[in-house]
A = this chain, B = another copy of it.
Amino acid sequence: MDAKSYLSGYADGEGCFCVSINRSRRHAFGWEIRPSFSVSQNRDRAEVLEIFRHQLGCGSIRPDRSDKTLKYEVRSVSDLVERVIPHFEDTPLLSGKSRDFERFAVICRMMYRKLHLTEIGFNQIVDLAFEMNPSGIRKYPKEKIKI
């Protein structure tokens, strides 16, 4: 058993690489860009979330909105860049979710270098985010966010 490969397989099914974009007065250009890696699981099968936290050495586990599930989540950009992304580059996803992951990695590394505070970087990140999880629902259209 190779724990790293196991976690990549689990994440390929149940994990989410997401970049949400929400209105915020406190952030540059009036929008908060928030990347996160998360995995949800029913409470009675939450052991795997502990293995993620242990293996990746970051993130937190807490109840999801509904009371039935627990969610492992990493939001810190430095943890994403220094721990989560290297894991999935060493032990890659094998499904089409890898396409989302590649864009996610570019966005996180841009934010790590503070490029989201520049107009060009901000617009590039928004474009990349809209290429991710194409079946998902976006709260705001791209045209409304870009500068």
Which A residues are closer than 8 A to B by beta carbons? 1-14, 41-42, 44-48, 51, 91-92, 94-97, 135
Contact = CB atoms under 8 A, between A and B. Distances in A.
Contact of A9 (B9, B41, B45, B96): B9
Contacts of A42: 135
Q: Interface on chain A toward B: helix, strand, loop, or mixed SS?
A: helix
A94 B8 contact: no
7 contacts: A1-B5, A5-B9, A6-B12, A6-B94, A9-B10, A13-B14, A44-B96
Nearest to A11: B9
B94 A48 contact: yes
A3 to B, nearest CB: 7
A94 B14 CA distance: 14
Residue from A8, A91, A95 with most neighbouring chain B CB atoms (10 Å): A95
Contacts of A5: 1-6, 9
A55 to B, nearest CB: 11
Contact of A95 (B2, B4, B45, B91): B45
Given A2-B2, A13-B13, A14-B13, A95 B41 contact: yes
Given A5-B6, A6-B5, A6-B6, A12 B48 contact: yes
B13 A94 contact: no
